[in-house]
Amino acid sequence: EVQLVESGGGLVKPGGSLRLSCSASGFTFSYFGMNWVRQAPGKGLEWVSSISSSGSYIRYADSVKGRFTISRDLANNSLSLQMKSLRAEDTGVYYCARAAVAAAGLVGWFDPWGQGTLVTVSS
């Protein structure tokens, strides 16, 4: 069974940093691109960042560019999101989502998704 389990969320002050992790199992991690998508409380989905299967191609939403860094550890089947200079508007549930198909490039539809980890940025 494909599983994605996020961790690392919590309460952080504005300007602070946090590192999210996503542990993947049940599939060949190195074959699939991975993604982070967030959802502010009571709001819709916002794509945050994507990384290709090999890690060589990375994209960010303009809202997080220069503050967030996505990476993957192929040896440990894990995905990370390093978040710096956090703002109140970064508050929300952060989902890890796998590309729906195995490919070398970025695949834009996502399946499955993890259950999410909550990040709260507040003083």
Partner 1 sequence: EIVMTQSPATLSVSPGERATLSCRASQDVDSNLAWYQQKPGQAPRLLIYGASTRATGIPARFSGSGSGTEFTLTISSLQSEDFALYYCQQYNHWPPVFTFGPGTKVDF
Q: Is 118 among the residues that bind partner 1 (CB under 8 A)?
A: no
Choice from 35, 53, 78, 117 touching partner 1 (CB under 8 A): 35
Choice from 5, 40, 61, 102 touching partner 1 (CB under 8 A): 61
- CB of 98 closer than 8 Å to CB of 41: no
Residue with tokens 């999101």, as numbered in its chain: 81
Tokens of 44: 């819709």
Judged on CB neighbours under 10 Å (0-12, 13-18, 19+), 101 is: exposed
Question: Residue 59 or 84: which CB sits closer to partner 1?
Answer: 59
Choice from 22, 107, 119, 121 touching partner 1 (CB under 8 A): 107
- CB of 77 closer than 8 Å to CB of 44: no
Under the rule (CB under 8 A), what is the footprint of partner 1? 35, 37, 44-47, 50, 59, 61, 95, 97, 100, 106-116
